[in-house]
Amino acid sequence: MKKVYLFDEQGRYLSEYEAQESPLEPGIFITPNLSTSEKPPSVKNGGYCVFYGGKWVVKSPIIEKPKEEDVIKLVTEALIKEKRDVKQQGVLVDGILFDTDDAARLSYIEFMLKLLQNPFYSVKDWRASGDTWVEMNGVLFNKIIAAWELRQKSLYTFLKEKEEELKSKKNIEELLSVSLKYNGV
């Protein structure tokens, strides 16, 4: 057997191959058309070998510069994700964290509907978040809604400012320099 090195139609190295000796012609090895007995050099950092002009040539990896519209799309998606994440974080009222995820918002709507029927309605064991329980009543409910509205206003101000900042950027590097982390209320 004889070791040969396979390459594709463009000359890119594929793999090693054990060529078999011809049973009809001893000393002659049967090798694929796109192969050479010259061992390719080792490559680093994502490079690759190409067999060209009877020898191996090391090529650098092909790194495409991102398109501006792709970067804008990714930045916009990150901003939308930040908005969703912030909405799910909860609000702090009187030192207690109250959930504001989808399930909690539905519970608040149900509570509000009962408050509309009876302004003195309350629930003795209301899960604020995790293992924190409170007595929910109209006063506490109004504080939660006020905290929620304040955070929403702050969040939408942040989003508007970030959209304006993104529009003002003139190239990809500037777009990527914009911080998308909400640090508001």
Place 184 in a pLDDT band, splitting at 50, 70 and 90: confident
pLDDT at 142: 96
CA distances in angstroms from 31 to 1, 11, 38, 55, 183, listed in the order given: 10, 16, 13, 17, 65
Residue 170: partners with Cβ closer than 8 Å, 6 or more residues away: none
Strand 13-21 to strand 2-7: parallel, antiparallel, or no bridges (unpaired)? antiparallel
Classify the C-alpha dihedral 13-18-23-28 as positive or negative. Answer: positive
What global pTM score does this model have? 0.60
Burial-class residue 79 by CB neighbours within 10 Å (0-12, 13-18, 19+). Answer: middle
Mean pLDDT of 81-108: 91
Residue 119: name the closest of 97, 106, 138, 104 by CA.
Answer: 138
Q: What pLDDT, in 10s, does the model give residues 29-66?
A: 999 999 999 999 988 877 899 999 999 999 988 777 88
**Residue ranges of domains in the chain:** 2-59, 68-176
Residue 175: partners with Cβ closer than 8 Å, 6 or more residues away: 68, 71, 72, 75, 166, 169
Residue owning tokens 């959209």: 163
